């Protein structure tokens, strides 16, 4: 089984049984799971890459939306003010990694 290091260290300080099976652990030594770490790192990078691409797509959509001319009935100064208000409402903040 694979465990979070800090969690299994705490567990083994209190017990010599497996937190998953409840059976006595044959050893209380632990080793890093490099394969799992590599898979997790790869998955995180993939998600971040897709999120960055999606964020760019959202920003392009917002940019196109605000470049479109406003209705002809609006005065030029009203048009600028309306676009600023729309941009403030629609801005997409970047997601935390």
pLDDT (average), residues 77-85: 58
Task: Compute the radius of gyration of the chain from its Cα atoms.
Answer: 26
**pLDDT surpasses 60 at 30:** yes
* pLDDT greater than 60 at residue 43: yes
Q: What is the mean pLDDT of residues 39-56?
A: 83
**What is the DSSP track for 33-55?**
-HHHHHHHHHHHHHHHHHHHHHH
Could you tell me the sign of the dihedral formed by the alpha carbons of 77, 78, 81, 86, in that order? negative
Residues 6+ apart with CB under 8 A from 70: 78, 79, 82, 83
- Tell me the pLDDT band of 80, cut-offs 50, 70 and 90: low
Average pLDDT over all residues of the chain: 77
The encoded tokens of residue 85 equal 């208000």
pTM of this prediction? Answer: 0.44
Q: What is the pLDDT of residue 14?
A: 93
Q: What is the three-class DSSP state of 67? A: helix
């Amino acid at each position: 089984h694979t465990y979070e290091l800090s969690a299994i260290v705490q567990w083994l300080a209190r017990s010599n049984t497996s937190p998953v099976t409840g059976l006595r652990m044959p050893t209380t030594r632990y080793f890093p799971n490099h394969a799992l770490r590599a898979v997790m790192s790869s998955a995180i990078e993939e998600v971040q890459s897709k999120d960055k691409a999606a964020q760019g797509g959202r920003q392009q959509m917002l940019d196109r939306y605000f470049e479109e001319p406003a209705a002809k009935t609006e005065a030029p100064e009203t048009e600028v003010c309306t676009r600023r208000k729309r941009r403030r409402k629609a801005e997409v903040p970047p997601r935390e990694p």
